[in-house]
Chain A
Amino acid sequence: MELNSSTSSSSEGKLVVSRVGGFLAIVALLTFALDAAITAGLRRLPASPFGITNRIVEGTINANIVISGSSRAASHYDPRIIQKMTGEKAFNLGRNGSQTDMQLAVLKAYLKHNRKPAIVVHNLDAFTFQTTREVYNPAQYVPYLRENDLYQPLRKINPQIWKSRYLPLYGYVAEDMSFAWIRGLRAFLPGQQSNELIDGYDPRPAKWTEDFARYKTTLRAPVRWDIEPEGIRLMEDLVRVCREHGIGLIFVYSPEYREMQLLTANRTDVFAAFQRVASGVVPIWDYSAWPHANDSSYFNNSQHLNEIGATTFSTDFAKRLRQYLEARDPELRAAR
């Protein structure tokens, strides 16, 4: 009887191990396959931040003027206008929700895969010296975690990022709330997805939103932006990288809504830090006093120009850039 019980227990054990193990193996295989399919799909997207990163890592951009920065960069500089006015191919690497750490990472990845640009225009923000606490839309980096230039800064911000790199689907389901995986799978279906970014430029709708009004109601005191030593170091690293590659660098503080400027308590300190980083070598073009900085019809919210504002600003900026390039390169002036 005992023998029977023991035999039956052993056979049940084998059944459990073989069946449950077999099922888990199938699930694991499916997980790997799905992860590979999603990654492959996202890496063939022409649109969205994925499309931009795809072009970066494929080395197909090769612009002469590269704009880097945050969402302010992405929505303020129209490469078409800059290209038309300067005659140089321009591309916008601005990333929504990014701080200097990830902006620098994207720039480094760009420089690794693409021809060196003549000029990098780095857009400054009042929060430039603050490092990332939480990566915005982390799924946008998941298909590219084998790129060390992107992976290492991400790991510094989020030590758990290794899970997204090594565990199948983890980066698409555990770290992402935007259903990027659906976008990846849809990439295999016929019909192109609309490209909402124009050479990296992310135009914002004309309507002035209630964001700023809401933001002001939450303010109990004027805003103070941290000037973190790590933020300074990153900016110095940016200067160093450009210098080492022989790339011209310009810091630009693109227009910010005037009322917001007045609400920033330590603006002078932030600008002094910009000066220290630039150390007289990197020009700083400050558009704080832009003629339309008081006019909300040029803005989408306090930080971002709308499409009309961006067109106006891009034109102003491109004119100045053309003069700068001509002054820097007499041959270019002669050619024109």
Chain B
Amino acid sequence: MHVPAAGRATFERFCELRHSFILHMLFNSLEFAIYFPIVTAIYFLVPQVWRVRWLLAASCVFYMAFIPAYILILLATILIDYTAGIYIGKLSGGKRKAVLWVSIVSTCLVLGVFKYFDFLTNSAASLAGWFGWNVPPVVTGWILPIGLSFHTFQSLSYVAEVYFGRQEPERDFIVYATYVMFFPQLVAGPIERPQNLLHQFRECYQLRYRDVTGGLQRMAWGFFKKLVVADRLALYVNDVYAAPSNYNGLQLTIATLFFAYQIYCDFSGYSDIAIGAAQVMGFRLMENFRTPYASLSVSEFWRRWHISLSTWFKDYVYVPLGGSRAGATRHACNLLITFAISGLWHGANWTFVCWGLLNGLYLVAGSFTKEWRDRLFAAIGLGPATLGRKGIMRATTFLLICLAWIIFRAQTLQDAAYVVTHLANGWDFSAIATPHFLLRQMPVAIAAIAALELGQSWQRASSFTNVIRQWPMPVRWTAYAAFVMAVMLFGVYRGTEFIYFQF
């Protein structure tokens, strides 16, 4: 299957339009650099009773910087789920369940119409074409509201938690609206749970030096990931994946490895900035990434990658389907269904569905072959804790994940197939550069990845923020200033949006 041409054209138009809107309030924009300190300063200056209102107003401004009218859609879903939460708290039995379903269906309807309608009609038209029926697809061409998938899932999480009795319904509309719209995590998560975030809007946070510096450090690390690593690698990846057949096997391999780092740094960089920005104001958001490429298995990878989404799917899809409790075959089906939906959540394209299914297959295969692999390692003398075994497992996991990223990044399944089948073909070391990534950028890109890995290993070994805190102030400040200057000088500032914004 492939994305029909009409669908692709719509997608391209959407990308163009979104690009023209989105530049206004990206975390890596000058506008945000002005907006954030002002919002934070006023947040701490106004009396406590006004703080949540101020945050809501600031979040509205942030959201409206993209497409102002779309705030009405967000408002509608907020109203629906807010009301549903109250009624679920009041009602019992079938009525309670009915309200839950009304809330889920209406919230998902918005997501469906904006995100999947064109995809479904295009796919249906393609399917009809296979049977010889000429059915033109109905294409809306609507632009996807920014972060729709994220705040939809956050809203659904609230309604579900209220239904399961794990969360009291929120009666204050302002607080609930702020929970959905809290600007640091509005457009790309982390997808918060009401138990973690909702109560924080009632607390009176004082301006704390440690929070501010910790938050700013976290933001700086996020900017490093986004500007220095992700956006530099994107120059290469975008060139190669735009027309894979124009590049040799070495370039395809480099682009694939680069994409693994690009998407990680892009998304985890966003999460770091979001978590850091919230921390400056005293809020604690959940961790979204825990060095996923250090995982020893694909299942571990999914416990470390986009944790807020993985746990969402686990809690609200995988477990309700029966999880691993209902026999091996059913367990495998549950995994495949969960990952297929997760793939579809990432985008209305068959590449994403296949990417999700492939990850599901990895997990199914992993659980079926576990004993066999343990025996194999034992036979060659590699015990569970040996470095050799860990190295093999880590490398295998990384390669499997990279293979899946090819499907994720390719524009079509045909492109993905081309990349996979040509990775080993015609390596030409004299032709590594691409039109937008000259060879002189390669050392910077490699050094950026090395610095990232070094920073992460340091952080794993000993929390380096705590270590740095022990340093004398002049040394500490010199280190901070050098880091900030390095991000400034080696960053790429082309107004590139965060990859996960489109989901």
Contact = CB atoms under 8 A, between A and B. Distances in A.
Interface stretch (B116-124, B396-404, B415-423, B484-492): B484-492
Interface string A147-184: 00000000000000001000001000111011101000
Contacts of A30: 481, 485
Given A169-B488, A173-B488, A174-B493, A23 B480 contact: yes
B207 interface: yes
B477 interface: yes
B206 A16 contact: no
A169 B212 CA distance: 26
A12 B206 contact: yes
Interface residues of B, number: 25
B438 to A, nearest CB: 8
B218 to A, nearest CB: 14
Contacts, number: 51
**Interface of A, helix, strand, loop or mixed by DSSP:** helix
Contacts of A20: 212-213, 216
B493 A15 contact: no
B485 A9 contact: no
B111 to A, nearest CB: 35
A26 B481 contact: yes
Contacts of A26: 477, 481
Given A20-B212, A174-B493, A9 B488 contact: no
A108 B440 CA distance: 33
Contacts of B492: 177
Contact of A27 (B208, B212, B440, B484): B484
B209 A19 contact: yes
A13 B485 contact: no
Interface in A1-37: 5, 8-9, 12-13, 15-16, 19-20, 23, 26-27, 30-31, 34
Contact of B212 (A16, A175, A181): A16
B493 A13 contact: no
A19 B44 CA distance: 17
Interface of B: 30, 44, 206-209, 212-213, 216, 235, 436, 438, 440-441, 444, 477, 480-481, 484-485, 488-489, 491-493
9 contacts: A9-B206, A12-B206, A12-B208, A12-B209, A31-B488, A163-B30, A177-B441, A177-B492, A179-B444
Q: Sorted from nearest, which 10 A-B pairs have the closest CB atoms?
A: A174-B493, A9-B206, A15-B209, A13-B207, A16-B212, A16-B209, A12-B209, A27-B484, A12-B207, A16-B207
Given A8-B206, A178-B440, 15 more contacts: A9-B207, A12-B206, A12-B207, A13-B44, A16-B207, A19-B213, A20-B212, A20-B213, A30-B485, A34-B489, A163-B30, A174-B493, A177-B436, A177-B441, A177-B492
Interface of A: 5, 8-9, 12-13, 15-16, 19-20, 23, 26-27, 30-31, 34, 163, 169, 173-175, 177-179, 181
